[in-house]
Structure formats: structure tokens, C-alpha cells
Amino acid sequence: MQQEFYIFRHGQTDYNLQNRWQGCGFDLPLNATGREQAQNLANKLKDKKLQIIYSSNLRRAAETADIVAEKLGIPRAYNTNLREICLGEAEGLTAQEAETRNPEFYKKWISLDAKYDNLRFAGGESKAEVGLRMLTALREISSEAQKYRIIGIASHEDSILQLLKLLSLPLEHIDNAGYFHIVRDGKEFKLVI
């Protein structure tokens, strides 16, 4: 059976406004703009016929999923593998602060070149690990939710970026409440553009 996934980033938080890296260590709620973005996302997804939403356990993604699920009248479940990347010692920093601390490492970190995908901040995860964790999450959800054909996924920017990179769409940024459509046919996941 073919399954469709609508994978979306959470709404805005105050740290997003400050260009501050939350990672998985800062569990902030949505701000007023973020809640409005989640409402607008629900309107955009209404005609997609989602049957369930799986969410990261971090508050900003869970809150976004709750708003969308409530508006669409569907259930929501958690999968901790959908959480944001662990940035270790870089969590809570702005991009500018991270660059100032180590300009050479920062330049490699933000690169889309796959040769840097195994880099990590001290105490954190690599981009390669996060991409595989996200792919594992999709496989787990696909197996667990076999009775559902159209599934929403609430996650985080860096985690979604790494999944998309595995699916041959390297991007630098995803807007808050932005979404992507992925289809699983058999064992393979494909991005629908």
C-alpha cells in the first residue's frame, strides 16, 4: 500500500526570531506568530485528507501538531526520533555567535557539501546521524500506522533538512510551518515536487 507523508516544520518560537539555535536542548513553546502559522498550516493541509499526525516530543513541534490535528479533527501520536538535531555546546547560540567561536568549523557546518555531514559540535549529533534517524522515524511510523494512508509529520528544520538531503533535495532553510510531500511506495521514500 502506498502511503503519503506531509512533513512540516513547527511554527515560530522566540528563539527563531532571535536566530538562536534551539536544538533538542531548548524546549520552547510557540509564540503568538507561531500559533497563527500553525492555524494557517492546518488550512493549507485541510484538502490533503490527513488521517493522523505524528510529532516530535519537543514542545514547539507538539504544539504545532496539536493545533493542526485539532483543526482537522484527527488523532496525534509521538515519535521521539522526529526531534531536532542535538547541537551540543552550540545550543542556545545565535548563528553569529557560533561563527565567531570557530569560523572554520561554522563554514563547514553550514555547507551543503556531503563531505561535512559527519561533523558535530562537542556533545552533539552529526547531520548524517540525524538524516538516518529521521528516515528510521518514517519507517517506524509507516509500519506502526499501516492502517493510515495519509500521515502528517511535525518536526524541526535541521532534522527535515537532513531527511530531504537523503532524498536528494539539499536545502539551506525551511520556513516555519513550511511542509513537504513524501510518498512511500514499497520500501522506498520519494519526494514529490
Catalytic residue set: 10, 84
Q: In what order do the strands lie in the sheet containing 150-155?
A: 76-78, 52-55, 150-155, 3-9, 179-185, 188-192
Angstrom distance (rounded) from CA 170 to CA 27: 26
Q: What is the largest CA-CA distance in the chain?
A: 50
Angstrom distance (rounded) from CA 35 to CA 51: 21
Reference 76, options 132, 15, 145, 24; nearest CA is 145
Degrees (nearest 5) of the Cα angle 58, 61, 66? 115
Q: Cell numbers at residue 25, please? A: 536542548
Angstrom distance (rounded) from CA 185 to CA 182: 10
Scanning 3-156, the segments in alpha helix (DSSP H) are 14-17, 32-45, 59-72, 95-101, 103-110, 127-144
